[in-house]
Each structure stands twice: as structure tokens, then as C-alpha cells.
Structure 1
Amino acid sequence: MHKITKQVISTALALSIVGGVGGNLYSAAEKPNSTTVSKVTISFNGNAKSSKGFTWYTSLTSKNSDLQVIKKTGKKPNFKKAMTFKGMKTISSNSKKEYVHKAKATGLKADTEYYFRVGDASKSSWSEVGTFETAPSKGAFTFIDLADTQAKTEEEAVLSAETISKAMDKIPNAEFIVHNGDLLDDGVKEEQWDWLLGHSQKSLLNTTLVPSAGNHEDENYAFIDHFNLDTPKKSATKTGAYYSYDYSNAHFVVLNSNEDSEKYANFSEKQVEWLKKDVKAAKAKGAKWIIVNIHKGPYTTSNHATDDDIMGPNGVRNQIAPLMAKLDIDFVLQGHDHIYARTKPINSKGTVSKIQKISETKLGQKIEYTVNPDGSIYLIPATAGPKVYYKNQDPVLGNAFYKLFEVADENHAAIYGPDPDNNDRPARSQIQNFVGITIDKNKLTAVSYEIDQNKNKAKPYIIDQFGIIKK
């Protein structure tokens, strides 16, 4: 890690420890006991227009799982008038000295912003106040996509938390964050959840997080412990979870690439059959857009592009990717390979049909839109954390593979040389990325950002823009 990056992260770490990560929406009389309530996350659970799921952790002294929600009408909430919901608790799979609490708010109004807090009412032990908004029935919306915050140390987790914060600052109208997996480096080490969710708590108290399970959180129910998700009945959750939700005119599917079967590497046959039925049902209900979030994606350009579970006979590229096209999946958000890349529309034969494009100019920037694409477009937003990979130069991929891509550059971190601890990878912690995606009726627009810790005062700047139009 370069000296300048270490100094910046160390300063942020010190400030977060001294100043805390929560807001200041309580009066002195009801100041929360933040040492008791921690690792709060907000999830889609059920109808996104009228419900929301919450998860939080406490010590074993906090027995009750209480959630209070009130419509946001001013700068401070009056929780005496709040709706109250009771949840349930279990012992953490990773940390036997902590309870995992989960509760669900229901009966909410669409397209409405709320205050909330979670904790134990009997002890007056509450989290900091957070905010969330419910989905609209229709209309344009924006979300953030990022991947692989995966930090090995607390110092690196501060960097990942800063990426999340900068993404939310850059795209203030984003209504939720999609995470393409590998939130951590080792999901069974609860301290790593403490690091990421702790240092990003202020951000995560004010947005809905949509996570997919990465291969670094594929054991011991570690993933599902931290998120209150509406998973299909009798679906396995030890290695992660798969689920879906509707938002305005779009249907989102989150897959779990930590399952396995003889027919499908990384997926059970049960999950694949669920995917087919889920997408068919969404289309029957009128979904205009189908977007899939998957950690181990079929079309990336670094180390994992030549892994057997990706390019083998039962790998994702040969088995799942053709299905994406057959199901008319519009857009696939990937992780796992830690390098930015974007494909052309790839059809069920694994090729690219004739492409029609139009250009528009927004805020002085030219954006090319693919019109009525024949196939699915795949995006990997590189990494929102420290770990980066070089571009895969294995000849087994060949020119035909890279011709499937619109963007397949060398990792931008490569200019900083190899990592001192691993010459096979670029220097860690220099470059982070995220993407802002807006869906407005029949148009999807994506703007990809980069953060370089060594220039532009580590502020995000645009590296790619593109879109899809469905007529």
C-alpha cells in the first residue's frame, strides 16, 4: 500500500473511533447506547412498496427485538408516535456472545421516507436513528452498484466504507445499493463484519443494501445472519441466499453462486429452476426490466475468467449465461474478478448479434445507448475495496472472447506497479470503483466512477457511460 493511502486511511480510522459513525438525531435524554446495538442493515423483504427488513446485533443482555418506524416529516422523529414491530433473535453463528436480531416493518406507504431505530425498548437501548424509503409504484429511480469491498484488515475496511460513503455522496438520489458479493475477506470472522458494517454504519443506516453472497462469505450461515431477506421457502441459506424483488417497473434477481450440482457449477438445480419460474412470473406481472445480481459471473476479464467453474462444461459461461439470454435478462451485475469490464449484448449462442446504437448528450457528456439488444449485457464494476487483479492474458480466451466486450482494459491500478506482497497482482488499495444506474421508463443509463487515491484528492470521476433503450 502506498504511503499516501496509509496516511489517509489511518486518519479516517482514528476519526471514526473518536467521533463515532452514527447520526445526531436523538435528544440527550434518549441518546442511544451504541456499544449495545451494532451492525444494522436494511434489506428488501417482501413488497418493496410497503415493507422493509432490518437486522442488528447486540450483546446477550439485550433480549428484545424492537423496531420503531415513523414517517419522516421533520428534522427529528418523535418515536412516541411511531409504529412498533416485534422481531426475533438468535445466537450469532460466528459469535456466540452476540444476538442477531431481525424485524420487519409492514403496512408502509409507497414512495415514502421514514425514520427508524432498532433495539430493546425495555432497556431504552436503541441504535442511532436511520432513514429509509419505500419503492414507488412507478417512475424513474436510481441505484448504486459496487462489488468486492473485501478487506483483510480494519484499515482496509475503512477504505471500503469510504467508497460506499463517496458513492452515496456522488449519487445522492440513489434509493438503494446493490453489492455484487465478497463483502469481506473471511465471512466466518465476525470481526470483519464489525469492521465493514461498523465503519460504514452511518451510510448503511440511510440506505437499503441489496447483497449477493460472495465465495468469501459462503460458510456457516454467516451471510444470511447479517441480512433480513425474503428467501424462497425451503431454500438453503448456509452458503448464502437467492431472492428477488420488484422496484418500480424493474424486477431484480439476486443469485447465490456458492451452491453446486453436477449439472451446474456454483448453482443447485433447485435454484436454477426457481430462477426460470421467478423471471417468468415477473414478466407476466408486467416487469419492463429484468436485472440479475451474481457474484461469480460468466463474462469478466481477469484471473477467474479461466476458472473451471466459469468456463468448464458445467460452468457459468456455458450453462447459466445462455439461460440469461433465453430468459431475456437485460442486465447482469457481476463481481469476483476485481477489474472493470463491460460486454456487448451476448445472445444464447454466446455471440453478439448486430447492434443498433444511438447517442445522447447529458451534462456535456456523450452516452451511447444500445437499442433493443439481442442478449444480455454484463457489467463488473471492479472493486469497491483494496483488492485488484491484472487483465487475464491466457491465450485460451483468445480474441473471440475479448471481442464480446465493449470495455476490457487493463486494470487502472496497474500503473502503480505490482503489490509488494504479491507480484501477480497490482498494488492494493489504490483504485476503487462504483456505478450509478438510472432506470426511467424504457431507458437504462449507467455512469461508472473511479476513485484514485493518488490524484484528484481521491474524489470520484467518470470512466465510462452507457445505456440500454427498449422500444
Structure 2
Amino acid sequence: MVRQKMISIVVGLTLLLALLVGSSGFLSSASAESPNPAVKKVVVTFMGDARTTKGFTWYTSLASTQSDLQLVKKNGKSKKKPIFKEALTFKGTSAISSNDSEERMHKAEAKGLRPNTEYYYRVGDAKQNIWSSVGVIKTAPKKNGAFSFLELTDPQAKTEEEGQLAADTFKQAAATVKHFDFMTVTGDFVDNGVVEDQWDWLINNSQNVWGNTTVVPAAGNHEDKNHAFIDHFNLKPAASNTDTTTGAYYSFNYSNTHFTVLNTNEDSEQYRDFTPEQVNWMTNDIKKAKANGAKWSVVLIHKGPYTTSNHATDSDIIGENGVRNKIAPLIGKLGVDLVIQGHDHIYARTLPINGDNQATHPKQITEWMNGQRMTYSVNPDGTVYSIPATAGPKVYKKNTSPELGEAFYSKFVRAEENHALKYGLDPSDPSRPVRGAIQNFSKVTIDKKKISVVVYEIDRMKGTAPYIVDQFGIVKK
């Protein structure tokens, strides 16, 4: 026990040092990245047609009543500052924050943008001349072509220092991958969704990343109350009358791929974590996308059916009406290629799982990428489930419950113990590995013939650059 406490102290000191003077250059002050703190928590999202439309959300004090959005087309690699006198302008709306009566939430939508085009943008109050720092975003291509996105999940920090650590994960992910078209985050952005400070700690401290990409969020169970999720993201829910108190479900196309984003914060007698309305919508959404020519189908979900840690044996997952028994078979029958999950804070991935919840063993081919083997499943009969561990401090141990057993784990290609466990246990909860030592993120690339996933890890104790811990893919011939 003494050794575990000593390890925890060393981890804490190491993380603090890394955050203050680490090789990533990360500073523990939000002001280092947010020139005008009067406009904060700026997030850009897809909203309908990813080629021509963007949604914007930001927060200000109550004194800023106007919601103004300006965009200027970026001319190639030119480093000239944008001239906002010539900007496209859009008016948005505002409301008092559900979480904080002293803050105003603003939302605006940009329409009629050019496909495959970069834009400078800023948001704020034109009347008072209060503006955010300038960001750069890009619309989706008009024609099909290869693209990449970052995937992170469960930042879920409960202190300001942990928020800075999670923000640093986003920074290191962006610096490592460099060229990506958008960023998906599969839930639990914060530890308590109704505590607005926690949103500040994550988004403001990583504004250079969040403010210069398009974020694709899935609602987590830690932001399932009081409109905490939808208040921070300007999205177009599946139906205009959808209740967004707990989150939102929606979809969009990007190049040759259809993305379906689910909300596992709903519940019903027929489906745990879902309503029949959402399940029916998901079914029709994916079928329609395939009929319209989508080459690939990707689902983003927080409470995933195939994970290997604490939540793998939760009743809402393994129960008769649970996600594994009700939703996973439907996903397999719909021909979804890849499901990216969250919630379980451990890295794992499956073999392709078919509509009968059985693992399949497709032909495989091996290529070399990043100096390592990259194994692709060829024309798989089933869906690959992946969970990229966590971008934040909290991690879980592998689930050894007899309820799972060898038959369950035989469905996985990767299902090892959490890599953070080598640094000891969390003194406040010995059922978990020590907090903050290990984070993960993924790069997903999709082109005409294949999906390629590269999984990276950050080891704060070693203090080295992110390194690859897994690579896998899917090929359609």
C-alpha cells in the first residue's frame, strides 16, 4: 500500500511538471490560447450538409447580446490576415446558459459555403466590437476522396488540473496527426455536465485545436441532464421535435462515408439506453444512406456493446433489452463497417461481429504503415467495434467477471489489461489504475477501398512523444 501511494505521488508530480514545462509546450493558462477571454468555449460543428454548412457555438458574459458570425475565404497558403470588412456575415441567437446564469450561450449557422474550402472565421458581438480569436475551418469535399479524422473519448476531468491534462491530450493528438479533416469525441466531455467550469477547463485550454477544426460530438452519460450536451454544440437533431434534454442523435455524410451519431442517454421498456423512435430512425438512416450510395458506414456511440472493462457487464449492456442483445445485432444486419465507442476507459477492438452477435474470421491482408504491420480484414461479414480508451485521467482495469468468459473474449483481437496498471492503483479507488498516467487517441483514414485506424498512446510517466500501440483496417473489394 505504501508503494502504491508513493507511485501515485510520483505520478501526480510528474503530470504537474509535464503540464507546466513539458515537451509539448503546453502552458497551464487558458489566456495563452484565448486572446479575448470575453468570447470563450468556441466550437464548430457539422450541421446538415457538411459541404456547405457549419454550426457555431460560443459563450460570453450577459452584456454581449448580439450573436455575430463572420467568415472570410482563405486563399491557399497565404499568410495574410483576413479582412473581415469583406466577410460573409450571419446572425445567430442567444440564451442564458442552462448551467450558469451569469453566462450567455450563442449559436449561429453558416450556410451557402463552398465545398472543399478553407475559411477564416470569428464570432462575437459586432456592435460592441467583441470578437473571438480567429479560427480556420474547412468544408467537406464535393466529390468523394480520401480523408482523415481524429477520434478521442472521455476527457472527463473533475479538476482544473485534470482538465488541462485532457486538453493537452487533444493538443498532442493534433500535433501528432497534423493533417485531419475533423475530430470526433464519443462522450463524457466533462465529469459533471451541469458544472460549467468543467467545460471551460477542457474547451478553453484546448482552443487552438477545438477552434480550428469541426467537432463531431456524441453525448455521454456525464452530460445527460439539463441540456448540458446540446447547449455546447450546434447540431441538427434527427427530428425537430426530438427531446434534447439528455443529448442528441443525428447523422451526416462526409465524402463516401455516412456517419450516424447515437444518443445512449435515452431509455425505454423495449430498449435500454434507447427509445424505439431512435432505433427506428437509426435503421432508416443507415438504410437510406446505403441506398444513396454511401461506400462506408460508421457509427459513433458512447455506451458501446463490445468493451472489456467495468461497463462490459452493466445491466444496460448485457440485459435482455440491453445494447449488446438488442442494438448490436441490428448494427450487424445493417452492414455498419465500424463502430467507435466510449464509456469504458480501456483500449480494445473486436473481430467483425455479425447480425447474430457472432465473431467472424475474414481473409486478412498485411501491409506496412508507420514502420509497422497493418492488418486489414477483407470484405468482412460483420462490424468492427473499437474503443480508444480515454483522452482524460480516469482509466479502468480489465473486466475478469465470469459473466464474460472465454467465449466473449474470443470475439476480440485486442483485449489486454489497461496499460496504466503498471503504475499502480488509484489511492481513492483501488479498483482502478492510477489516474492520469496514460491517455489514447486514434487517427482514422477512409478512402475508396479501405478504412485504416492507427491508435496512439501517451505515457506521462515516460514523457515521450505519442507512440503507436495498434493498427488495423477494413478493405472492400
- The answer for the alignment partner of 1:161 in structure 2 is 167
> Structure 2 counterpart of 1:64, which letter?
Q
C-alpha separation between the residues in 2 aligned to 1:205 and 1:131?
A: 7
- 8 A contact 2:146–2:445 mirrored in 1: yes
> Structure 1 counterpart of 2:40, which letter?
S
1:192 to 191, 198, 206: 198
1:336 to 338, 343, 351: 343
> Structure 2 counterpart of 1:105, which letter?
A
- The answer for the alignment partner of 1:119 in structure 2 is 124
1:404 to 403, 406, 411: 411
CA shift, 1:11, in A, is 5.0
Structure 1 position 424 matched with structure 2 position 431: yes
Q: What TM-score, normalized to structure 1?
A: 0.96
CA shift, 1:404, in A, is 0.2
Q: Secondary structure at the match of 1:222?
A: coil
C-alpha separation between the residues in 2 aligned to 1:363 and 1:62?
A: 48
Structure 1 position 433 matched with structure 2 position 445: no
Structure 1 position 242 matched with structure 2 position 249: yes
- The answer for the alignment partner of 1:453 in structure 2 is 460
Structure 1 position 107 matched with structure 2 position 119: no
> Structure 2 counterpart of 1:92, which letter?
S
C-alpha separation between the residues in 2 aligned to 1:175 and 1:467?
A: 19
CA shift, 1:289, in A, is 0.5
- The answer for the alignment partner of 2:4 in structure 1 is none
C-alpha separation between the residues in 1 aligned to 2:203 and 2:42?
A: 7
Question: Please, which runs of 5 or more residues in structure 1 have no aligned partner?
Answer: 23-31
- The answer for the alignment partner of 1:132 in structure 2 is 137
CA shift, 1:18, in A, is 7.4
C-alpha separation between the residues in 2 aligned to 1:14 and 1:298?
A: 36
2:102 to 91, 94, 97: 97
Q: Structure 1 residues 366, 18: CA separation in 2 closer, same or farther (over 3 Å shift)?
A: closer
Matches within 5 A, 1:69-468: 69-73=71-75, 74-75=78-79, 76-137=81-142, 138-232=144-238, 233-455=240-462, 457-468=463-474
Question: Please, which runs of 5 or more residues in structure 2 have no aligned partner?
Answer: 1-7
CA shift, 1:6, in A, is 2.3
> Structure 2 counterpart of 1:97, which letter?
E
Aligned length: 460
> Structure 1 counterpart of 2:470, which letter?
D
1:274-326 per-residue CA deviation (whole Å, 9 max, x = no partner) reads 10111111111110000000000000000000000000000000000000001
Q: Secondary structure at the match of 2:127?
A: helix
C-alpha separation between the residues in 1 aligned to 2:66 and 2:55?
A: 16
C-alpha separation between the residues in 2 aligned to 1:358 and 1:223?
A: 41
Q: Secondary structure at the match of 1:366?
A: strand
- The answer for the alignment partner of 1:60 in structure 2 is 62
Structure 1 position 17 matched with structure 2 position 29: yes
Q: What TM-score, normalized to structure 2?
A: 0.95
CA shift, 1:19, in A, is 4.9
- The answer for the alignment partner of 1:42 in structure 2 is 44
C-alpha separation between the residues in 2 aligned to 1:336 and 1:234?
A: 27
Q: Structure 1 residues 9, 362: CA separation in 2 closer, same or farther (over 3 Å shift)?
A: closer
> Structure 2 counterpart of 1:469, which letter?
V
C-alpha separation between the residues in 2 aligned to 1:397 and 1:16?
A: 42
Percent identity reads 56
CA shift, 1:192, in A, is 0.5
- 8 A contact 1:10–1:155 mirrored in 2: no
CA shift, 1:235, in A, is 1.1
| Larger mean Cα displacement after TM superposition, 334-343 or 171-180 | 171-180
Q: Secondary structure at the match of 1:199?
A: helix
> Structure 1 counterpart of 2:202, which letter?
L
